[in-house]
Amino acid sequence: MILPITQYGNPVLRKKCRPVTEVTDKLRSFVKDMIETMKDAEGVGLAAPQVDRDLQLAVVDVSHDPECISYLRVDGEETDLRDLMPLVFINPDLELGREKEASTEGCLSIDGITALVKRPTSITARLGQLDGSIITIETDGLLSRAIQHEVDHLNGILFTDRISPASKVSIRRKLKRLGS
């Protein structure tokens, strides 16, 4: 089922989300709906608050562009990107790389606005899985950026919070219109 995507101005987008404490059939069904919603909206990621749920849960799928990363290790083993997608994770813990790079980002919850965002190029992420396991992913490129973007959502942070002051000024009017 396609879920309505929460838009800029909704307070749930500014909440630090609650950890997932139990994986139920209802939660698994919700995850399927999130994946369907993300794909329908042509997004590369979707976090639970973007569909009005206060949970540390997100989905990411960058398989449309297998060249978007230069490496991917899951639990220390080289892994093919397509074998991991769509990536569903709960209660994430990120370790950010030192090198940073600016790239254009947008958001399904901030319709029509994009801006340059400087983020670490690589991450090591410990991601809870629906089966109760925790996997460790080491990666870069679009997958790293998408995971960081979705984890920001789980902490009440929007990409517009991470842009330069000059960029904030240039989009202020658009954001004001979206938030009203």
Active site residue 150: yes
Contact 88, 31 (CB under 8 A): yes
CA–CA–CA angle 109, 112, 115 (5° rounding): 90
> Do 150 and 140 contact (CB within 8 A), yes or no?
no
Q: Would you say 159 and 107 are in contact if contact means Cβ atoms under 8 Å apart?
A: yes
Which of these is catalytic: 22, 77, 105, 150?
150
Closest CA to 141 of 127, 121, 123: 121
Alpha-carbon torsion, ordered 80, 101, 124, 108, to 10 deg: -70
- For the chain, the first-to-last Cα distance in angstroms comes to 28
Which residues belong to the active site? 150
